[in-house]
């Protein structure tokens, strides 16, 4: 049996032991990751925590900039303290987050440039596109290349015409021959591929330029497919004698400007030349205006009338 004094001492000792055990229990830190994230060697399983590092589809540039301005991300500090080598993992470069780039071993500046690029709408289509990120070294690119979820290249389909392929020929419609300078819209609609709108546009264009001197001018009509032109050109003629010409020595400045094949500058040059040098005797006088090239002269010559009355 213990004396009363010994009992009190024993009670105090039990209390002290209990306090000591409780304080040790309360001082333990919580483990930041679930047990299945740590293997028997104490290493963090990078693949298992990767889903938590992706932020929807991509980090915003503001968030990435905040992380970049910090001395280091928490995950990076933890890696440095442990002295562990980061393992690479498969990733989509168009949706990867800032933290995931750090885990891949990129420095903060390169990771920030990467996120900034995709946040502003930049897209990677093939693996080598990653090289455009400022600060990404070739050695680092090669170390992560096989984990990039993009193709090495995009194959372009080449269409090679075979000599044995049949050539589509367009034959004129029988018993149809139309003069572009006198025909009506209704007559034009008899041709394959010419409907209400195209026939109206052809007539409008003819009236605007004063007539066709060549069937090839029809290709200048807005909305007329080349295939349609090739189909109907054998049914067309253009009588040059029916062109409405411009009296180049008589027309006023406004009339010259309105002609479609004269731009404003050319119309003013023709008017001023006539005013300074007198009437144009022929196309050779037009050629004296050095700013008019031969192509333009050939285009306007059929419409010029050098008569003085």
CATH number of 178-242: 1.10.150.320
The token duo for 55 is 């932020």
Which residues does residue 246 pair with via DSSP β-bridges, in sequence order? 304
Q: For residue 305, report the phi and psi dihedrals to the nearest 5 degrees.
A: -120, 120
Contact 302, 240 (CB under 8 A): yes
d(C-alpha 154, C-alpha 143), whole Å: 22
Q: Closest Cα partner for 280 from 297, 263, 258?
A: 297
Residues with pLDDT less than 50, the chain: 29-59, 71-84, 157-167
Contact 68, 112 (CB under 8 A): yes
d(C-alpha 290, C-alpha 121), whole Å: 50
Distances (CA, A) of 32 to 99, 115, 200: 16, 26, 78
The token duo for 241 is 């004698």
CA dihedral 176, 177, 179, 183 (to 10 degrees): -10
Angle (CA) 286-290-295 rounded to 5° is: 70
CB-based burial label for 35 (10 Å; 0-12, 13-18, 19+): exposed
Q: Closest Cα partner for 215 from 249, 252, 178, 241?
A: 178
Domains of the chain, by residue range, sit at 41-147, 178-242, 246-305
CA dihedral 286, 289, 291, 295 (to 10 degrees): 20
Angle (CA) 308-243-201 rounded to 5° is: 135
Q: What is the DSSP letter of 178?
A: E
**The predicted structure's pLDDT at residue 234:** 92
Distances (CA, A) of 294 to 186, 267, 286: 37, 16, 10
| Cα Rg, the chain, nearest whole Å | 42
Tell me: the pLDDT tens digits for 95-107? 888 888 888 888 9
Tell me: the pLDDT tens digits for 203-222? 999 999 999 999 999 999 99
């Amino acid at each position: 049996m213990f004396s009363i004094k010994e009992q009190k001492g024993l009670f105090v000792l039990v209390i002290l032991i209990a306090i000591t055990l409780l304080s040790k229990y309360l001082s333990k830190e919580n483990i930041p990751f679930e047990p299945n994230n740590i293997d028997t060697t104490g290493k963090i399983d990078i693949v298992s925590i990767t889903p938590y590092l992706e932020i929807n589809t991509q980090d915003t540039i503001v968030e990435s900039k905040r992380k970049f301005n910090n001395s280091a991300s928490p995950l990076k500090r933890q890696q440095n303290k442990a002295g562990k080598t980061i393992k690479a993992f498969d990733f989509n470069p168009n949706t990867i987050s800032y933290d995931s780039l750090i885990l891949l071993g990129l420095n903060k500046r390169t990771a920030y440039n990467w996120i900034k690029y995709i946040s502003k709408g930049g897209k990677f289509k093939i693996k080598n596109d990653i090289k455009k990120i400022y600060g990404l070294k070739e050695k680092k690119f090669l170390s992560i290349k096989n984990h990039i979820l993009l193709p090495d290249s995009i194959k372009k389909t080449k269409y090679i015409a075979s000599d044995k392929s049949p050539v589509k020929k367009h034959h004129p419609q029988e018993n149809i021959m139309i003069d572009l300078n006198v025909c009506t819209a209704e007559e034009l609609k008899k041709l394959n591929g010419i409907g209400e709108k195209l026939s109206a546009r052809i007539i409008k264009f003819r009236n605007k330029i004063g007539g066709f001197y060549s069937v090839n001018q029809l290709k200048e009509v807005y909305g007329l497919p080349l295939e349609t032109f090739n189909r109907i050109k054998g049914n067309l003629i253009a009588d040059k004698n029916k062109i409405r010409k411009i009296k180049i020595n008589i027309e006023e400045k406004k009339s010259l400007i309105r002609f479609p094949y004269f731009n404003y500058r050319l119309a003013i040059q023709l008017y001023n030349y006539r005013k300074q040098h007198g009437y144009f005797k022929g196309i050779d006088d037009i050629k004296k205006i050095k700013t008019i090239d031969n192509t333009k002269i050939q285009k306007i010559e059929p419409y010029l009338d050098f008569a003085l009355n």
